């Protein structure tokens, strides 16, 4: 079956839904969302805890509730979507192949928004030695088993990594009667949100061990214990500090990776740092008409920011579709960072005359205290904010006003960096 659509959205999670709604509201009517699961909402469907939507709706919603708000908006607008449909290929000519039980769909799109989210780093990626039986799960898999399938992964749990999913699962497993013996974090700080450390660990007296890692998994057919050890400044385990913790389950919350296999197939340039696409300030990739937003672009902490970014992508995709000269190439300038700022999204600023305000999103590479987050254009500081503390776990945003955005567009050099105040 071959068909045409003006705007194709790959992924019906929070990013795809918000992008679709915004594109519709900007006047586009020919939109199709492709979703591989059997319902819209993406990973939010398994996030049954609350805390979503504080920024967007000024109230605390559960994941499914937050998703439902957007699903309702999609339904209200009668935006088309297909469920149980997996995209297997995206070409740089914006031809998409997708599979469902009806057959192979071949769709020619005018613009594509990739909003297919991220995946968890598996055990293999962090090279933990030991046995290879049952009982080792990524935290998200365990979350799906408990929250969706009603199955219990284990009863004595160690969690490696203090990312948000790990913290949330510490509490969730405790609620279900499991004993969470420790959360072990390689770094000297958590990559999760502070409120999650308080609400998910402290409130339940679950110990959080910084600068520790799991060095070995024991047990034949199923995990029986893990060996943990403190790490030195270079993150190498100090084996003299090794201790054994009896447990039947190890949950891993050791980072998320944007899922860019489709993008790679379309020759989209991928950032080595974010592992998402390199995009300009329209959130467009190097391939004309292919946009990215949400966790496939860079991993977010809060879904509210995903929705905001996705709206932006939806609006820009519509502008692109309606532009008279789609192939017009703009020169662009890449934002430079200082290493303390690990990355900035978008990375490229177009040298055109678009004067809309712009939000830059960034992460830092370590915990820094008493710093100024600054943007300079040709060595003139155009933005400066004092930050008492910044940490890799919390995404920072820089809201730039129209006149500053115009400065960026004329710049020969743009730098985003941290300046020490001491």
Given the rule CB under 8 A, which residues bind other proteins?
Answer: 36, 84, 86, 88, 97, 99-104, 106, 119-120, 122-125, 127, 129-134, 137-138, 140-141, 144-146, 148-155, 176-177, 215-216, 218, 220-222, 237, 248, 261, 264
Residue 225 CB, nearest approach to other proteins (Å): 13
5 beta partners? 109
Nearer to other proteins, 27 or 150 (CB): 150
Q: How far are the Cα atoms of 4, 16, 102, 118 from residue 97, in angstroms, in the given order? A: 12, 18, 13, 20
State the Cα–Cα distance between residues 99 and 105, nearest whole angstrom. Answer: 6
- Least Cα distance to 317 among 3, 19, 11, 21 occurs for 19
Half-sphere exposure of 102 toward its Cβ, with a 13 Å CA cutoff?
10
State the Cα–Cα distance between residues 22 and 308, nearest whole angstrom. Answer: 10
In the three-class reduction of DSSP (H, G, I as helix; E, B as strand; rest coil), residue 259 is classed as: coil
Residue 154 CB, nearest approach to other proteins (Å): 6
Residue 415 CB, nearest approach to other proteins (Å): 27
180 beta partners? 157
168 beta partners? none
Residue 95 CB, nearest approach to other proteins (Å): 11
Residue 1 CB, nearest approach to other proteins (Å): 8
The first and second tokens of residue 196, run together, are: 């999650």
In the three-class reduction of DSSP (H, G, I as helix; E, B as strand; rest coil), residue 401 is classed as: coil
Half-sphere exposure of 395 toward its Cβ, with a 13 Å CA cutoff?
21
Residue 302 CB, nearest approach to other proteins (Å): 22
Nearer to other proteins, 54 or 99 (CB): 99
Scored b (16 or more CB within 10 A) or e, 398-411 reads: bebeeebbebbbeb
Residue 79 CB, nearest approach to other proteins (Å): 23
Nearer to other proteins, 113 or 116 (CB): 116
Nearer to other proteins, 198 or 242 (CB): 242
The 3-state secondary structure of 368-384, one letter per residue: EEEEEEEEEECCEEEEE
> Is 352 within 8 Å of 382 (Cβ atoms)?
no
Residue 160 CB, nearest approach to other proteins (Å): 15
Nearer to other proteins, 134 or 405 (CB): 134
Nearer to other proteins, 267 or 402 (CB): 267
Residue 102 CB, nearest approach to other proteins (Å): 7
Nearer to other proteins, 145 or 398 (CB): 145
Nearer to other proteins, 64 or 133 (CB): 133
Nearer to other proteins, 247 or 400 (CB): 247
396 beta partners? 362
Dihedral-angle region of residue 84 (phi above 0 means left; psi in -120 to 50 means alpha; beta otherwise): left
Q: How far are the Cα atoms of 177, 273, 343, 384 from residue 339, in angstroms, in the given order? A: 43, 11, 8, 18
């Amino acid at each position: 079956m071959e068909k045409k659509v003006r705007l194709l959205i790959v992924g019906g999670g929070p990013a795809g839904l918000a992008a679709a709604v915004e594109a519709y509201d900007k006047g586009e009517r020919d939109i199709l969302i492709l979703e591989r699961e059997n319902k819209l909402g993406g990973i939010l469907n398994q996030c049954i805890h609350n805390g979503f939507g504080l920024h967007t709706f000024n109230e605390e919603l559960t994941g499914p509730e937050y998703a439902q708000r957007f699903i309702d908006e999609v339904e209200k607008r009668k935006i088309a979507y297909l469920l149980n449909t997996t995209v297997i290929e995206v070409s740089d000519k914006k031809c998409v192949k997708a599979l469902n039980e009806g057959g192979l769909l071949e769709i020619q799109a005018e613009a594509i928004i990739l909003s297919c989210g991220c995946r968890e780093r598996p055990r293999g990626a962090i090279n933990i030695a030991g046995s290879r039986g049952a009982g080792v799960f990524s935290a998200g898999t365990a979350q799906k088993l408990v929250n969706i399938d009603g199955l219990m992964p284990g009863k004595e749990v160690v969690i490696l990594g203090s990312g948000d999913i790990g913290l949330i699962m510490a509490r969730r497993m405790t609620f279900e009667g499991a004993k969470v013996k420790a959360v072990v974090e390689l770094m000297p700080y958590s990559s999760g949100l502070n409120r999650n450390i308080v609400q998910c660990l402290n409130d339940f007296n679950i110990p959080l061990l910084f600068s520790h890692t799991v060095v070995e998994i024991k047990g034949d057919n199923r995990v029986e214990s893990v060996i943990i050890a403190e790490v030195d400044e270079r993150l190498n385990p100090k084996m003299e500090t090794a201790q054994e913790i009896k447990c039947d389950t190890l949950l891993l919350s050791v980072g998320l990776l944007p899922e860019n296999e489709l993008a790679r197939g379309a020759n989209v340039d991928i950032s080595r740092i974010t592992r998402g696409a390199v995009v300009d300030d329209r959130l467009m990739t190097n391939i004309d008409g292919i946009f990215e937003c949400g966790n496939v672009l860079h991993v977010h902490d809060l879904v509210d920011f995903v929705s905001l970014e996705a709206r932006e992508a939806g609006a820009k995709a519509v502008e692109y579709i309606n532009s008279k000269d789609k192939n017009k190439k703009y020169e662009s300038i890449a934002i430079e960072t200082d290493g303390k700022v690990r990355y900035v999204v978008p990375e490229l600023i177009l040298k055109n005359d678009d004067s809309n305000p712009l939000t830059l999103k960034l992460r830092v590479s370590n915990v820094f205290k008493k710093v100024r987050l600054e943007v300079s254009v040709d060595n003139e500081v155009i933005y400066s904010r004092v930050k008492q503390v910044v940490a890799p776990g919390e995404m920072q945003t820089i809201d730039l006003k129209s006149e500053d955005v115009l400065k960026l567009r004329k710049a020969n050099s743009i730098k985003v960096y941290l300046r020490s105040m001491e």
